[in-house]
Chain A
C-alpha cells in the first residue's frame, strides 16, 4: 500500500496500473491514506487458535463477506460456528506466498472506505455497513463493468465458500450424507519398494482374472 498522502492518480494512470497485475495496480491506484482510507474495520472476535496469515482486520472482512454469502438459518450453521475465518487462514497458509499476499491486499481493498467511495460513493468500510448495503456491495463487485472487480469477487467468493463448505459442519444443511463409511482404511500399508514385498490389491495385475 502506498503511504504518505499522495493524490489519487489521474484516470489514465490508473488504467495503466490496471493492466499490470491481478489487483496490485488497482490497490496502488486508490490505496492512498487520508480520512476515508483510514476508517477502521469493525473487528470480529478472533479464534483462540490464533491466525497465521490474516490480520484481525482481514479476518473480520472474511467473516463479514461469509455471513452475507451464506447467511445461515434454515439448517445452515453460522459462519462463526463453521469457523470460516480460521479455515480461510488455514487455506492461505498453504497457498503460494505471492498469491496469499494478493488475497490480503484484495481484502484490504474490499474493506477500504476510499475504494468504496470511488466505486459507489459509500464512505464506510464494508464491515461497518448494514447487511443490506453489504449485499449491494457484493452485487456491485459481482456484476461490475470493471473486469478487475469481477476477478476480485471471484477470488474472495472462492476463498469464503471453500472455507465454509469444506467443513463437515456444512453437510447436514445441504443434505449430504458424507463419504460412505468402511472404505477408507487409515491403517492401509504404504508400499515404497526397496525390497519389501508389494501387498496384493486392486492395483496389482493378475492376467488370468478380469473383474470389471
Chain B
C-alpha cells in the first residue's frame, strides 16, 4: 500500500471523481478509528472532513483564533431557541482536537440498558473490552495522578471528600503532557492523543487519503445502495462553498459526522428511516456553578479535567442522574458563559484567577418515554441545522438539585461565595443560602445550559421500527451504508463520550470491512 495524503480544499480542482472501497465522512472519534482499522486491513479509504486541517503550527492558545477554526459555527452553535449552547468540534480530528481528554469506557449499566430496552444485541463489555484496551494503549489513556491535579479540580476532589461523596480520578489520553490547560483550543505539543495527532497520521502512513474543507452534502442513492457521495469543496477562510465539487464513488459509505451532522447528511439525502433519523438526540445538558475563593485557583492552568464524581449518577426511577466535573476557565468562553452584565459582572470577572467552576452533566435518555431532542434541516441556503431540545420537568429538577449539590461541594472546599448562571446571577454567601435555589427561575433562557457531548439521532437496534441502524451499524434499508459515531447511541452515556465512540468504531470496522 502506498502512503496516503492529507489534502486541503485549495488543492482540489473542480469536478474530481474518486473511487475507493470505503468513504468515511467525518474525521472525529468515530471516523478516524474506523478509517485506521480499514486501511490496516488493506482497504482503500477516502476520508472527508468539512473543517480545516489545523495543526499545532497554528495552535497559538488564543481563544479568538481557536473557536472560529476548531468549533462548529465558531463556537456559537446552539439549539434554535438559543436555550442550549452547543460546543462541538469542527476540524481534522473533530471533537478530539478540542476536548478536555476525559476517557471512560462505556458503563456496563448503559450497555445493559441498551440491550434490555433498545434491543441492541452483541454489544457487551466482553465484546468491547479488547477494543478499549487497544485504544487505551495507543492513546496512552491512564488516570491522571492526584499529585498533578490542578487547583480547580482540587476543589471538586476536596469538597466531595469532606461531604463523603464518591469521587474518582479521570483517565486522560495524553503523552508527555505539560499541564498547560489549553486542551480546548488545540494542544500545541501534540501531547493530547487526539485523532489529529495519532490515528489519522497513523492511517495516512497506511494509505488513507484525507480531504479537509470537504463538506459531504448528499449521498446519491441508487436502489439499495449509496452510489456516490457528493461533496462541496469549501473555501478555507470563508468556510463557504468554493463552487468546486468532488464526487466519491465508494463500495461502502460510513457516515461519521457526529450526532448532529450525521443525521443532517442522511436527511439531506432523503434518508429518514420513517421519521427516526434526527430523533432521540441527547446532549448531557450541563449546568454550572461558579465559586470565588480567597486563594488563587487559576482554572486556566493545568490539566483541565482530572476529577469526576458519579455520586448522583443514579437517583431513582423518576429522576435524571448527573455527574460532576470541572471545566477550564479562560477569559472569552468564561466571560460569555458567566451571566449578567455591567459593573458587577465586570468586577466578578476581575476575580477570574480566584474562581472555580463545577459542571453537572445530566444523563438524558434513560427515563421511560424520554425522547430527547431533534435535528432537522433549515431552508435551502441556511447553513445551520434545526436543533431542538425541550427542557422538561425532570431536567429542571436535576438542574436544581445539581446546582445545590455543587454549591455544597464548593462551600465544603472553602468557597467564599457561589453564583449560579441565572440571568441575572444568583449569589450565595454560605451553605445556609443554598435554599435560595428553590425559588430561583428554573426556566429556559433564564439560566445558562450548555453541552459538549452530542449523542443519538441514528439509534442502533435490531428492530427497524425503532432504530435507524442495525446491530452492526448498517442503515436498515440500504446494503452499503453505515453510521459509525456517537449518533448510534440509543441514550446518553453518563460519562464523557470519546472512548465509547473509539470503542464502538473499532468494533464496527469488521462489519464495515465485510460489506466491501
Residue pair B81, A95 in contact (C-beta under 8 Å): no
Residue pair A69, B352 in contact (C-beta under 8 Å): no
List CB contacts (< 8 Å) of A45-83 with chain B: 68-72, 74-76
| Identity of the chain B residue whose Cβ is nearest the Cβ of A174 in the assembled complex | B352
Stretch at the interface among A31-39, A110-118, A122-130, A164-172: A164-172
Size class of A's contact patch? 35 or more
Q: Mark B115-137, 1 if CB is under 8 A from A, else 0.
A: 00000000000000000000000
Q: Is A43 positioned at the interface, with any CB of B under 8 Å from its CB?
A: no
Q: How far is the CB of A19 from chain B (nearest CB, A)?
A: 11
Contact of A174 among B194, B205, B350 (CB under 8 A): B350
Residue pair B188, A174 in contact (C-beta under 8 Å): no
Residue pair A150, B197 in contact (C-beta under 8 Å): no
Q: How far is the CB of A45 from chain B (nearest CB, A)?
A: 23
User: Which A residues are in CB contact (< 8 Å) with B197?
Assistant: 201-203
Q: How far is the CB of A205 from chain B (nearest CB, A)?
A: 6
Contact of A194 among B3, B138, B301, B345 (CB under 8 A): B3
CA distance A71 to B75 in the complex (A): 25
Residue pair A211, B175 in contact (C-beta under 8 Å): yes
User: Which A residues are in CB contact (< 8 Å) with B346?
Assistant: 70-72, 74, 76, 173
User: Which A residues are in CB contact (< 8 Å) with B268?
Assistant: none
Stretch at the interface among B336-344, B426-434, B499-507: B336-344
List CB contacts (< 8 Å) of B201-222 with chain A: 201-202, 204-205
Q: Mark A185-204, 1 if CB is under 8 A from B, else 0.
A: 11111111111001001111
User: Which A residues are in CB contact (< 8 Å) with B56?
Assistant: 184-185, 188
Q: Mark A88-120, 1 if CB is under 8 A from B, else 0.
A: 000101111111000000000000000000000
Residue pair A96, B73 in contact (C-beta under 8 Å): yes
Q: How far is the CB of A151 from chain B (nearest CB, A)?
A: 5
Knowing A151-B81, A183-B178, the reply to whether A158 touches B336 (Cβ < 8 A) is yes
Q: How far is the CB of A99 from chain B (nearest CB, A)?
A: 6
Q: How far is the CB of B364 from chain A (nearest CB, A)?
A: 22
Residue pair B335, A161 in contact (C-beta under 8 Å): yes
CA distance A65 to B343 in the complex (A): 13
Q: How far is the CB of B97 from chain A (nearest CB, A)?
A: 12
Residue pair A143, B61 in contact (C-beta under 8 Å): no
Residue pair A162, B336 in contact (C-beta under 8 Å): yes
CA distance A87 to B65 in the complex (A): 12
User: Which A residues are in CB contact (< 8 Å) with B177?
Assistant: 212
Q: Is A147 positioned at the interface, with any CB of B under 8 Å from its CB?
A: yes
B interface list, Cβ under 8 A from A: 2-7, 53, 55-57, 59-64, 67-68, 73-76, 80-83, 138, 140, 142, 172, 174-178, 180, 182, 188-191, 193-194, 196-198, 201-202, 204-205, 238-240, 300-301, 330-332, 334-336, 341-343, 345-347, 349-350, 352-353, 378, 381-384, 423-424, 444-446
